[in-house]
Structure 1
Amino acid sequence: MFTFFLVLYQPAFGQKVYVGLSSQSKEISDKRYQIDEVIDLRIKKGKIGDVHDINGKLQAVELKEGLDDEARQFFKRRVNPLGQNVQNIQVRIFELNLVEKAGLKNKVYEGDVQLVIGFFKKGEFEPFHLVDFTGSIQYRRSPNRLDIIPEVVNKIFLNASEYFDTWMNMQVMNNPNLATEVQLEIIDRVKASHQDTVYYDPNHPLVWEDFADQPRGKSKFNASIFTSFAIQGKTTVEAGKIIQILEFDIYMLPNQSWVKSPSDYSLNHEQRHFDVVRIVVDRFIHTLKSLNLDPDWYEATLNDTYLDAYREMNRLQEIYDKQTRHGMDTVEQERWNRMLDEALKGNWSEIDRVLSK
């Protein structure tokens, strides 16, 4: 059932037909969205078209309280959201146009109402475009049936509302742009090493055979190791929740690592460079698990956190080499051995102290 308001009055400058959008049809309940903003982006504001009065004269048709306010109230009454954790939707009206002309026998009027609107998801940044609705309704009426006009205008807005609701029902469970939560799944496991890559394994420390590159003759150092970490990501959407899988690789590259004069002492120094990467990744994962990720910009947050960890790794490696003088200071090397052993167990107090200086 619909209730329509048609207000006619005749001021000095002529008659106008005012239409109120007021649907009392069954509301759409328990929805995960609410339309809380409507913006009128039509090039020409004011009237939506002209209709013929009972005397055959053209009269302007306007929305009673203005298009944006009328439409906002219409959608607000139409949609009943479920709780407070819902998507806020912005509607942009690009076109609402009514054209009416006299029929062949001049005893009926034929009209067409066209509506073009866009639905946008609101968030921390600029509203994100979801979907557009383009619709039209044709009608025929007798000269004394001006009440048809508000009925048709209401109907086309109702069609737009039903179209968007259907679209949301189809998309809300698997569209990442509509997700309301992000869940991280972290994969951090030992991988089998091969000729080109040696993965960190606490049960299999490095051996000199892992250093396959030719020594740098002009280098003043006895050995060099290339260590780093990488992340592989995969994203899925389940039941309106973004599942972000992050798989970590901690590795050294044999073909970019070398040694001149192998010794147990030198091997320990290089192993500790590998341990530093393991510790940084442990701290990185700890940070990730404490993040409160917003679906609208979680990727940027993850990227920033990754860059912080990468910078921390490089800085800690530099401090380690500087304080141990690349392993030549045996006293400092032993101190770092103890510090890194504690950090591998999860005690990062000394690492924090070193990084804070």
Structure 2
Amino acid sequence: MRILFLLCFCFPAFSQVSLQLKPEVYDFEAEDYYISSVQDERVSQYFLGKVFLRNQSLTDLLIDGGTENAFLNNTRQGFRQNRNGVSLIIKIEELAFSEKRNSNGLIDGYSEMKLKVFGVLEQDTLELCSPRSSNRYNRSLGTAHELAYEPLLRQMWVSCIEYLNGYVANSVNRLELFNTGSEIIIEPFSYQNRGDTVHYFSRKVTWNDFKGRPPMASKFAAAIFPSIGIGTKLTIRNRKLVAIIKPQVFMIPSQSWVKAGSMNASALRHEQLHFDITKVVMDRLIEKLRKIEANTMDDLSSMIQYEYLESFREMNKLQQQYDDESRHNLDRVGQAKWEEKVQNWLKEGS
């Protein structure tokens, strides 16, 4: 008779420490935003680090249900937020507990949390701030359980949300995310002539302003080079996206020319009217700019640039039409019609 001996080896079960984030009643509230989602950018949203067990072995520190649900539910339950405000996305960049034994046989621990907060503005997400929090702690080997870590984890999260809330409260009036619309400010026209520039409002043009060399092949007696420009500064004031615009109507002497023997009063009036047409175009541009409404800085900048380019094209078109219909001042009737037309336009814009 044979006896079969069955040897059983009992291995200790691998122990993990799991946390369940407890509710928190926040003693502050969000007036201008709400947290719509939490996204963990780390490899795992469940893993928090390695911690020591009583037997001096290391084990995983985990969070039940993952960080995304745990933190989002924590804020939804205990943090009063404005659901009609700006939607914020919180991304977890770093979150970890680490421990090491010291010379006294105790455990020195360190925990750290780093977040990035983004706001949703129309179809874009804009970075808002980067809260962070950390803790240093000391414990004995016999305390590796939820009560040793959950309060630290929750405290870091609440500290980051408190930082976020304070940042928004202190900066809301100058943050693009929280704008309530746009405002266009038109500054006065430039008057002072500098360098190779004669501004429209400084004076009428004279033949002394035509300093360029006449092209040999040109059949015309004179040509003025007028143009428009806008200096634009974008800023945020009192929750408004503000565009401060400095309009300029000018001519460039070095590119304007007149042939010898052509410096008469009639020809100068013709060239001055080209300058007047440029002012008309600027008046129209200013009216278009005043009507701009935007909710993002990119849109505000793009709209201003679009209107400027459209006006520049209109200026070139009108200048060409004026020369065609007046036959470069040879058609007196056509010239007179344009003089009357431009004067009426200037009155409308004044």
Shorter-chain TM-score bucket reads 0.7 to 0.9
Distance of 1:255 and 1:103 partners within structure 2: 80
Residues 120 and 131, structure 1, Cα contact 8 Å, conserved in 2: yes
Following superposition of structure 1 onto structure 2, how do residues 1-357 of structure 1 map, counting pairs within 5 Å? Answer: 17-20=18-21, 22-30=23-31, 32-51=32-51, 60-77=60-77, 79-81=79-81, 84=84, 86-100=85-99, 110-124=108-122, 126-141=124-139, 142-143=142-143, 146-174=146-174, 179-189=179-189, 191-193=191-193, 196-201=196-201, 204-260=203-259, 261-297=262-298, 298-346=300-348
The alignment of Structure 1 onto Structure 2 pairs a total of residues equal to: 332
Q: Classify the secondary structure of the residue corresponding to 1:158.
A: helix
- Per-residue deviation at 1:57? 7.1
Residues 17 and 59, structure 1, Cα contact 8 Å, conserved in 2: no
Residue 354 (structure 1) aligns with = none
TM-score (norm 1): 0.78
Change (3 A) 1:337 1:79: farther
**5+ residue gaps in structure 1?**
1-11, 348-357
Change (3 A) 1:320 1:178: same
- Per-residue deviation at 1:60? 3.9
- Per-residue deviation at 1:227? 0.2
Q: Which amino acid aligns with 1:162?
A: E
Distance of 2:196 and 2:164 partners within structure 1: 53
Change (3 A) 1:29 1:123: closer
Q: Classify the secondary structure of the residue corresponding to 1:172.
A: helix
RMSD over aligned CA atoms reads: 3.3
- Per-residue deviation at 1:224? 0.4
Percent of paired sites with the same residue: 27
Residues 56 and 143, structure 1, Cα contact 8 Å, conserved in 2: no
Q: Classify the secondary structure of the residue corresponding to 1:338.
A: helix
Q: Which stretch shows the higher mean deviation, 188-197 or 337-346?
A: 188-197
1:285-335 deviation digits (Å, cap 9, x = unpaired): 111111112233122222222222222222222233233332333333333
**5+ residue gaps in structure 2?**
1-12
Q: Which amino acid aligns with 1:92?
A: K
Q: Classify the secondary structure of the residue corresponding to 1:346.
A: helix
Q: Classify the secondary structure of the residue corresponding to 1:137.
A: strand
Q: Which amino acid aligns with 1:157?
A: W
Change (3 A) 1:110 1:223: same
Distance of 2:77 and 2:279 partners within structure 1: 56
TM-score (norm 2): 0.80
Larger Rg: 2
Q: Which amino acid aligns with 1:201?
A: F
